[in-house]
Structure 1
Amino acid sequence: MIEKSIMMILIILLINIVYVSFFTIRMILTLKNQRYLAALISVFEVIIYVIGLGLVLDNLDQIQNLIAYALGYGLGVLVGMKIEEKLALGYITVNVITTEVAAGLPNEIRSRGYGVTDWMASGREGQRLMMEILTSRKSEARLYETIQTLDPKAFIISHEPKTFHGGFWVKSIRR
């Protein structure tokens, strides 16, 4: 009897981890405009959800099943986030502000394969060099390391662009 109870807890836990991981990935794909893949994943997501919820509802007198369901949900969020981090879908725009106006930073970053648009700007304490860099999310950490190596005092902020149009780099982006 105890073995059956432990097995049920493990099944519910595993089902919910898989369900919430699929849910997280589907949401990310939806936000990244990957409609068809998101729709396909949602089919499996719903099947898994119904099976897991059914197991819990059929055994509502067993509080450990409800606890396993809740724990599986929380763990699924963590697993889904980790999977998304590994997939690193999409692109980011990194804005860099530096006081190193004459250091040749834009060309150094370009020589490492990044597209850089740069211009002079005025800050509270004088002239600043502004750079805007578009890169894949898979290259994000490497870009931050490059910038911090070249100028440890640089101000860096990033965001995810929603659409692209024009420019030399856009031609190499797969949709």
Structure 2
Amino acid sequence: MITESFWYSWVLIPAMIFLARVADVTIGTVRIVFISKGLKMLAPLLGFFEIFIWLIAMTKIFQNLDNWFYFIAYSGGFATGNYIGLKIEEKLALGYVNLQIITQNPGEELAKKLASQGFGVTWHEAHGSRGEVTVIYCVIKRSGFKEATSLIKEYNPKAFYIIEDVRFANQGVFPVKSLARTSGNFPRRKGK
């Protein structure tokens, strides 16, 4: 009886609280990303499950306010849930980013290489604090970010670039993976 009570109070319930908190914070993190990306139908559904799981975890804690180990399990679940939620968001790679590249070297070759890989590119010459520069703009799908930055590193490794989230893109040129690798033809696609 004592052993069962020990395992229940000090192992099973804290593990359940930890896992519940991991689940609800992970869902909450992904829900916030969906809201920021304008996915209005998925966010409320995720919010329902987030709060439902949170209520289950809180019920167990309020039933046992004298057990400090539950608070540790709750806090650890919160931290772990944030980490897992951000990793999931990173893997989903939803939406678009604005990639702005500033090169000290002439950047026309880099801009043309990005364009040849199907990225929509706009560039112009500008004056920087250290001399003439080329400024290149690309609005790309987040899933294409690694491909674009590898081209930057290959053609102009000292280029300065920044990435900003884009909530909405009206129109643009976005590569189609299957066509980009085979035919070299890049159709214009409307963005969201």
TM-score range, shorter chain: over 0.9
Residues 25-174 of structure 1: pairs in structure 2 closer than 5 A: 25-101=30-106, 104-169=109-174, 172-173=189-190
Gaps of 5+ in 1: none
Q: State whether structure 2 residue 34 is matched by structure 1 residue 22.
A: no
TM-score, normalised to structure 2, is 0.85
TM-score, normalised to structure 1, is 0.93
Q: What percent identity do the matched residue pairs reach?
A: 30
Q: SS where residue 11 of structure 1 aligns? A: helix
Shift of residue 173, structure 1, vs aligned partner: 4.6
CA deviations 1:78-123 (Å, max 9, x no partner) are 1111111111111101111112226522111111121110111111
Partners of 2:96 and 2:107 in 1: how far apart?
A: 28
The farther-off stretch of 3-12 and 96-105 is: 96-105
Gaps of 5+ in 2: 175-187
Q: CA RMSD in A?
A: 1.8
Among candidates 3, 9, 17, match of residue 7 of structure 2: 3
The total of aligned residue pairs comes to 175
- Cα gap change, 1:29 to 1:120, in 2 (>3 Å): same
